[in-house]
Amino acid sequence: MGVYEPVEGKEQDTEEFYRELQQSIDKIPKKENFILAEDFNGRIGNQPIPECVGTYGEQITNHSGAALRDFCAFNKIKTTNSFYRHKDIHKFTWEARGTRSIIDYIIINDRLKSNIKDTRVFRGSEIDNDHKLVENKFKFFTHAKPSHTKMYKTIYKKKPPAFKVHLLEQESIRTLYRNRLNGKLAPLTGEIDADWLKSKRPSPKQRKRV
C-alpha cells in the first residue's frame, strides 16, 4: 500500500491521515500480508519499541514521527528501516538543501517479519527526486511439490501381465486359441461395423490365456 503523510507541521491533517489509514488497515484480513511504503514525512528516531521500531534510525523525532511510532505500536507492525545497521549513505532517505533525514519507510505486518532480510537506501538509481530509493529484501519459502513417487509405486506395484505370444508358435496352442476365439466371436450379427469391432478386440480372458 503506497501512502503519503502530510508534511510536518500540519497536525490536523496528520490526524486525519492516520484515521483513514487505520480504517484501511482494519479492512485487511488478519491472515493477509501487507506492506506500507513510501513517504511518511515522519522522523521516528532510534528509541526502540519492541518488534516495531529498531535502534538503527536517526536520533531526531518529530511530531509526524511520533504519530507513526504510535501507529506502528498500536497495530504491531514493523518499520524495517530501523532494524538494520548501515552506513549513513545507505540509511538517510531524503536529502536536500544541505539537510537529510529518514522519512521514507517500508513497514510490514507481523506475518512478514520472518521473511524480511534487509532494508536500505539504494543510491545507484537516478529517480530525479530528493528522495532516495529504498530497497527491501524478502525471502519467501516455496512449498515443496508433493512427491508422486509413492503413488506411482502403488499403481505399478504389480506389472501388467505379459502376453506370451511366442506360445502361438506351437501348433496345438495355436489351434486351441483359434477355436476358443471363434467360439467367442460366433454367432456374428450381420452388421459389418459391429462384427468388425467385435472381431478385432478379443476378450481379455482370451488374450490372457495366450
pLDDT at 125: 61
> Which class in CATH covers the domain with range 2-138?
alpha beta
What residues form DSSP beta bridges with 107? 36, 79
Task: Please write the tens of the pLDDT for every residue from 34-79.
Answer: 999 989 999 999 999 999 999 999 999 999 999 999 999 999 999 9
| Burial annotation 150-174 (CB, 10 A radius, 16+ → b, else e) | eeeeeeeeeeeeeeeeeeeeeeeee
**Over pLDDT 70: what percentage of the chain?**
74
* Per-residue model confidence as pLDDT tens digits over 158-187: 565 666 777 777 888 778 877 777 776 666
Could you say which DSSP state residue 18 is in?
Answer: H
Predicted confidence at residue 97, as pLDDT, reads: 85
Contact call for residues 36 and 77 (beta carbons, < 8 A): yes
pLDDT for 83-124, tens place per residue? 999 999 999 999 888 899 999 999 999 989 888 899 999 876
How far apart (Å, rounded) are the C-alpha atoms in residues 15 and 174? 96
Q: What is the pLDDT of residues 4-29, one digit of tens each?
A: 988 888 899 999 999 999 999 999 99
137-159 mean pLDDT: 60
Contact 210, 181 (CB under 8 A): no
Distance CA 70, CA 49 (A): 10
Confidence (pLDDT) at 121? 92
Residue 130 binned pLDDT confidence (cut-offs 50, 70, 90): confident
What's the farthest any 2 CA atoms get from each other in the chain? Answer: 107
Read out DSSP for 96-139? ETTEEE--EEEEE-GGGTTTEEEEEEETT---SSSBPEEEEEE-
Helix axes 11-26, 63-75, angle to 10 degrees: 20
Strands, E assignment, the chain = 2-4, 35-39, 78-79, 94-96, 99-101, 104-108, 116-122, 133-138
Q: Sketch the domain layout of the chain as residue ranges.
A: 2-138, 149-209
Place of cell 506395484: 157
Q: What per-residue confidence (pLDDT) applies to 192?
A: 66
pLDDT of residue 51: 92
Return the pLDDT at 119: 94
Predicted pLDDT at 101: 94
